[in-house]
A and B are shown apart, each in its own frame.
Chain A
Amino acid sequence: MTRHPLTRRRLLALAALTPLAACGTAPADTGRLRVAFAAGGSKETLDPSQVSLFVDQARAKALFDTLVAYNADTSLRPRLAESWESDDSGTRWRIRLRRAAFHDGRPVTADDVLYTFRRIADPALASSSRQYFAKVDFGRSKAVSPAEIELTLTAPDFEFPSGWGAPGAEIVPAGTTDFTAPVGSGPFRFVSFTPGGPAVFRKNESHWDGAPGIDELEFVPVNEEAARVNALLSGQVDYAHDLAAGTAARLAGDGRVSLLEAKGTTMQGMMLRVTRPPFADPRLMRAVLSGVDREALNRVALAGRGEIGNDLFGKGLRGYATGIPQRGRDVEAARSLVRESGAEGLAFAVETSDVDPGFATAATLISQQLGEIGLKVTPNTRASSTYFSEIKTKGVAALTRTATLPVPTFLNQRFRTGGSNNVNGFASPEFDALMDRAAATPDESARLALFGDAQRIVHESGGLLAWGFSTWTIGVSKRVSGLVSAPPNTFDWARFDRARLS
């Protein structure tokens, strides 16, 4: 028997080899899909009514189901609701449910839907989706049968079903108050989760829409974009959410990853507060709208990967007013508007923050461009975590952005007198009346035409400079198939039950 004495040299050689043998790249697991999202740390939750981050929404989508879901243009497709109809007035809605079951085997019934919507509408819960159910009269709404619900509204609304597909409207079992290990009816079952840490879900074999193509789904928090890309490139994760335009350009030729790019998903804009000087003077508001160069902003701030906007939300979505002529740069006209209102040399700040990668560049560029029409504009950078709540009350001009949501919803939130997110302070009885009339119009094309008229008013005097629409980019490893590009909040986005691993 020969013995190998453990010499120092041998030990060193062993030590040098061990890490190579032990790690290699990440385990090539064929059953588990690992997806990396920027996370919110301890503020993350599995309660679908409290979603505020994309990662919360993606997890909610895996565990739960909504009654309906948005197609890429925000038109609706049935999910838990098999069909729905309203009476002629648009105040009474009847929804029929398909046969579906929660993860513990209980069927999804009318009571669960009523419980969920009543819960979301409760002001004490402060749910971000509360506005969609604020008009429901729960005292007069009821379960007709286990598979049929009747909801009664306090005012007609033929766009009401849109709210059922909004993030945060996922159906939870009646009586649920604790979401630490939630039971849903979605394509994946809960396995484990810590806020700010990973979440592991297992496939729901008996999902009504068919079992997922992967055994397990793991959400991995990676906040730093560079780290997210590195994790993807080295095979530690298979899906990296939210890549910057520059990264996307760099990865375009990389054989290890494919990019899912959803064009025009996020409106990039600047809101002008029309209730305060200087923009209480509509001439100055018009001067700003025609003083900026949308092409240049797109080229520089969106790295040429976005699309220019026409001061309206929702390019490409259902109900977007396509007939309004594109507003372009007209330095002469803008300059004379500034002169007319006696505002030459007027100084104001554009509120901005690094909450969006394009904001800093956009703020600088807009300041320069408005300098050319005789205004003195300086960017004012605010803290990113509180930016959107701060600009509700502070400043006269602020950069803003809005992800995909139905056009009528956006109009109601942003421009209706006293709307939930009406930061511009826009108030127009004519606009409000048009929105009411549209909501009460049963015929869809007539209704959308009325929404189009409402957008004309906003385009003229709403104080929104929507200069562009950015592209949403996701990096996916080549071993993943079955995923398609889609705007966040729509059906195909973060739809991991369709994914396959090779």
Chain B
Amino acid sequence: MPGYAARRLGFAVLQAMFVLVATFAVTALLPGDAASVVLGEQATDEQVATVRHRLGLDQPILDRFGHWFSGLLTGDLGRSLVTGAPVTEEIARRFAATALLAGVTLLVLVPLALGIGVTCGLREGSRIDRVLTSVTLFLHAIPEFVLGLLLVAGFAVYTGLLPATAAGTEPAARPEVLVLPVIVLVARQLCDVARQLRIGIAEQTRGQVAGHLRLLGLPERTVVLRHLLPAAAAPAVQQLARAVEGLLTGTVIVESLFAFTGLGTGFVEAVQNRDVPQVQGYVLTFAVVVVLGNLVADLVAHRLTPQREPAKW
């Protein structure tokens, strides 16, 4: 297993490098640069040229990449072209906000998906299975933006039960601002994870092992929790890993709708500002999240299904 993990990690580093180079090239192809964006509508060519020189944007792209990359090797992600502040500072601040949102979402998502997945899987085709499946599918099908606006209209604007946005609040100090965004995020992810579990449980419960264990007279709870669930969970864990990645990298819509200053909106902003060091910092963060998420998921799946050794590559 350590060998497997090491190979996976090595390959992941190569992937991340490729993504970084590609990002640098693509950002260079975008129209305009940080100098023109920062100075705004009224800037003269002369002012743009001054700022461009100050930021080093008048240097060849390979030099800029080389400079950035040598910084990366020493753990320095560089400074924002726009603010001059270290890239790590801004990303760390936004990562904290996003991680809080993602963490609370997981706390709700995992038990809920487990409950629904197991219930539906054990009673495949029953009335409760059909109802729960329809509900989660329905939630999955509503665009996040629409669901968010509906919830805000109902729970914030008309009844005043919950805050409409996180604007101007520290989410850690006023946790109620998390309620509506978490509902939207859970609604989005619940369907996939629960359905994976449902299929796994349904397959297992029909299988010979389950029948044998039940014949041996083991209590149903033990059969499900000790034997069916671990075997059924492997694909669901993979799905959950994807959900975590999604929560940590792509919640732009939820973040902007609820005025959260997280990674998603930060990344969009960095691209709009043509702030290349910042963009690269985000891409690196996302790459690490995706790689780690998949690695952990694979290792967990590996552990859950020890009999299936992954193919060598």
Give chain A's interface residues, CB within 8 Å of chain B. 19-20, 22-26, 34, 36, 41-43, 45, 52-53, 123-124, 126-128, 130-131, 194-198, 218, 220-224, 226-227, 230-231, 233-237, 382-386, 388-390, 392, 413, 420-421
When chains A and B are docked, how far (Å) is the Cα of A128 from the Cα of B82?
Answer: 16
Tell which of B133-141, B196-204, B272-280 binds the partner: B272-280
Beta-carbon contact of B261 and A221 below 8 Å: yes
Q: How far is the CA of A194 from the CA of B94 in the complex (A)?
A: 12
Interfacial chain A residues near B275, Cβ < 8 Å: 42
Given contacts A123-B50, A130-B47, A389-B37, contact A231 B174 (CB under 8 A): no
Q: Are A231 and B43 in contact (CB under 8 A)?
A: no
- Choose one: B36, B163, B176, B273; the contact of A41 (CB below 8 Å): B273
17 cross-chain CB contacts under 8 A: A19-B162, A26-B163, A41-B269, A42-B85, A52-B39, A126-B47, A131-B44, A197-B261, A220-B168, A227-B258, A230-B152, A234-B156, A234-B164, A389-B43, A389-B48, A390-B32, A413-B42
Query: Which residues of B come within 8 Å of A, CB atoms?
Result: 30-32, 36-48, 50-51, 54, 80, 82-83, 85, 90, 93, 149, 152-153, 156-157, 160-165, 167-169, 174, 176, 179, 256-259, 261, 265-266, 269-270, 272-275, 278
Interfacial chain B residues near A22, Cβ < 8 Å: 176
In the complex, what distance in Å separates the CA atom of A271 from the CA atom of B38?
23
| Structural contact, B261 and A226, CB atoms closer than 8 A | no
Known: A126-B51, A227-B259. A235 touches B160 (CB 8 A): yes
A124 — which chain B residues lie within 8 A by C-beta? 50, 54
A301 to chain B, nearest CB (A): 19
Known: A227-B167, A237-B167. A388 touches B257 (CB 8 A): no
* A37 CA / B84 CA spacing, docked (Å): 23
CB-contact partner of A42 in B83, B162, B169, B256, under 8 A:
B83
What distance in Å separates the Cβ of A365 from its nearest Cβ neighbour in chain B? 23
Contacts of B174 in A (CB 8 A): 23
Q: In the complex, which residues of chain A have a beta carbon less than 8 angstroms from the beta carbon of B37?
A: 43, 385-386, 389
A236-B149 contact, Cβ under 8 Å, with A223-B259, A230-B157, A383-B30: no
- CA gap between A45 and B39 in the complex, in Å: 12
- The answer to whether A42 and B90 have CB atoms under 8 Å apart is yes
Residue numbers in B under 8 Å from A227 (CB-CB): 164-165, 167, 256-259
Chain B: minimal CB distance from A477 (Å):
13
List of A residues within 8 angstroms of B165 by Cβ: 222, 227, 230-231, 236
Nearest-CB residue, chain B, relative to A127: B47
A23 touches B161 (CB 8 A): yes
- Contact: A224 with B259, CB < 8 Å? yes
Q: Which residues of B contact A221 (CB under 8 A)?
A: 167, 259, 261
A236 surroundings in chain B (CB, below 8 A): 163-165, 167-169
Q: B169: nearest residue on chain A (CB-CB)? A: A236
Contacts A221-B259, A223-B256, A227-B165 given; indicate if A25 touches B38 (C-beta within 8 A): no
Minimum C-beta distance from B121 to chain A (A): 25
User: Smallest distance from the beta carbon of B44 to chain A beta carbons, Å?
Assistant: 4
Tell me the minimal C-beta distance from B100 to chain A in angstroms.
15
Since A220-B259, A223-B259 are in contact, a sample of 5 more A-B pairs with Cβ atoms closer than 8 Å, ordered by chain A residue number, is A123-B47, A124-B54, A128-B42, A196-B261, A197-B261
Q: Which residues of A contact B80 (CB under 8 A)?
A: 42
Known pairs A233-B157, A235-B160; A42 contacts B269 (CB<8 A): yes
Q: Is the CB of B266 within 8 A of A41?
A: yes
**Cβ–Cβ < 8 Å partners of B32 in chain A:** 383, 385-386, 389-390
In angstroms, Cα B171 to Cα A197, docked, is 13
Q: Are B168 and A390 in contact (CB under 8 A)?
A: no
Residue contact B272 to A23, C-beta cutoff 8 Å: no
